[in-house]
Amino acid sequence: MKQDKFLTVFAVFDDATQRALKAFQDKVLSLGYKGTQTMGIPFHISLGSFKVEDERELKARIKEVCSQYGEFEINLNKVNHFNNRVLFIEPEENVKLRCLHNLFDNNFADGFPWHAHATIFCGDEEQVINAKQCLNEIFKPLKAKITGIQMGEFFPTRMIIEEKLCK
């Protein structure tokens, strides 16, 4: 069941990865599709979603986790989709990402099982199929770095906290 308002905790990428993912998204948007993906926030991998009442506890947990966990690399190696509605870049399995997710393993917003991904585009089936074909033509796997954890409130979007992982 999709919730109207919720918090999401997410792992954010380094600046170079942000630029690379933005270039992929810009290529898809150049097809003339507007999409329903949330714009104006960093590309990320969602770790969990929570009730808005959990904000204070989550802020403290994010600060604690970031003081104890270091930055790490992941390989973004595959274009994939959810039911031809959400187009994303998928990382290969990564123990450090899985451990980070386990610290925030909750899915209040929609009840779907966790699947690590960085959303590029959301739209109707025809748009996503065309966008996927376009992205497959230009996509090359890339090394990315997870550098921090952020939390935002959705919807409307409000960024709440950003903490850097230890170097």
Q: What tens digit of pLDDT does each residue of 32-49 get?
A: 998 999 999 999 999 999
Handedness of CA 131, 133, 138, 143 (dihedral sign): positive
Give pLDDT tens digits for 47-101: 999 999 999 999 999 999 999 999 999 999 999 999 999 999 999 999 999 999 9
- What's CA 39's distance to the chain center, in Å? 12
Strand residue runs (E) in 51-128: 72-82, 86-91, 118-122
Per-residue pLDDT at 3 = 64
Domain 13-139 top-level CATH class: alpha beta
Q: Which residues pair with 13 in a beta bridge?
A: 146
Domain definitions of the chain by residue range = 13-139
CA distances from 20 to 41, 51, 53, 106 (A): 15, 32, 35, 29
- What's CA 40's distance to the chain center, in Å? 13
Stated pTM of the model: 0.94
Coil/strand/helix, residue 143: strand
Q: Closest Cα partner for 116 from 139, 148, 89?
A: 89
